[in-house]
Amino acid sequence: MPFVFNPIMSKSTVDEIRERFDNDVERFSNLEIGQTTTLDSPLMLELVTQAAAACNPGASHILDVGCGAGNYTLKLLQALPDVNVTLVDLSAPMLERATQRISAVSKGAIRALQGDIRDLAFPAAQYDVILAAAVLHHLRSEDEWQLVFAKFERILKPGGSLWIVDLIEQSTEAVQALMWARYGEYLTEFKDAAFCEHVFGYIAKEDTPRPLIYQLNLLREVGFAQIEILHKNNLFAAFGGLKGII
């Protein structure tokens, strides 16, 4: 019998999420494999960083939100070497590993900020590219989603781009149930039923994803001039937006 995802439960606090990621650095430190619980992880890593480099070939400053061990910045540096990087993550061990890995291949400045993107302040028009991979599903209320997307638009330079890879949900209950069942089959085949239950357990406890359409509409609502969908498979998507040039 497939594991049944139950979203009706109390959600993890920021401290609880930070503690889990503090203890999970190694799983996020493989550039070739990516995050194995994410469908098409290597493909989305490739697509997002290629799109960022294509849209902002002259980029000098990038922001990696929820950077983990630095995979997305490392991949982008292959196309845009030696750009200046700001790393944001809840986890100090993740930031330490990301800084170590990036400094080994880049001469650009690296700034590491431990904290929550909801709380951190940034100057306007600061970044050419923002990367946000497997992080926004931790946002809770509609106000938080609005605040963070508006913050991204404000701190991008004119013509800058935001690229998101994330867990999403479906808008229709029946389709959501179908996609969870299919994702459960993938996790079980990848490892076993206990692994599937483990993954679904921490998703139910930690995450509050929103539909792809909701996020695309929000990008437009906060002022992004162009919206792009790079890839969608089951409950995972890669997409982004470009800020207009004034």
Evaluate whether residue 195 is within a structural domain: no
Range 77-101 average pLDDT: 95
Report pLDDT for 6.
47
| Residue 197: inside a domain | no
Within a domain: 224: yes
Residue 131 within any structural domain of the chain: yes
CA distances from 229 to 63, 114, 163, 233 (A): 20, 30, 10, 12
**Residue 31 lies inside a defined structural domain of this protein:** yes
Domain contains 202: no
pLDDT, tens digit, 9 for 90 and up, residues 54-75: 999 999 999 999 999 999 999 9
Strands 127-133 and 61-65: parallel
Task: Work out the number of other CB atoms within 10 angstroms of the CB of residue 85.
Answer: 28
Q: What is the pTM of this model?
A: 0.90
State the CATH number of the domain containing residue 143. Answer: 3.40.50.150
Contacts with 62 (C-beta within 8 Å, 6 or more apart), sequence order: 52, 73, 76, 80, 83, 84, 85, 86, 127, 128, 129, 130, 131
Please compute the mean of the pLDDT values over residues 158-169 and round it to a whole number.
97
**Residue linked to tokens 């960022």:** 52
Per-residue confidence band for 229, with pLDDT thresholds at 50, 70 and 90: very high
Instruction: Give the pLDDT confidence of 1-35 residue by residue, as tens digits.
Output: 344 444 445 777 776 666 666 556 555 545 554 57
- What pLDDT was estimated at residue 3? 42
* pLDDT given for residue 171 in this prediction: 94
Residue 193 forms part of a structural domain:
no
Report the pLDDT value the prediction gives residue 4, as an integer from 0 to 100: 45
Q: Note down the domain range covering 159.
A: 14-167+207-243
The number of folded domains in the chain is 1
Q: Does some domain include residue 183?
A: no
What CA–CA distance (Å, rounded) separates 244 from 232?
A: 25
How confident is the model over 157-176, as a mean pLDDT? 97
Helices 14-22, 193-206: inter-axial angle, 10-degree rounding:
140
Structure confidence at residue 2 (pLDDT)? 42
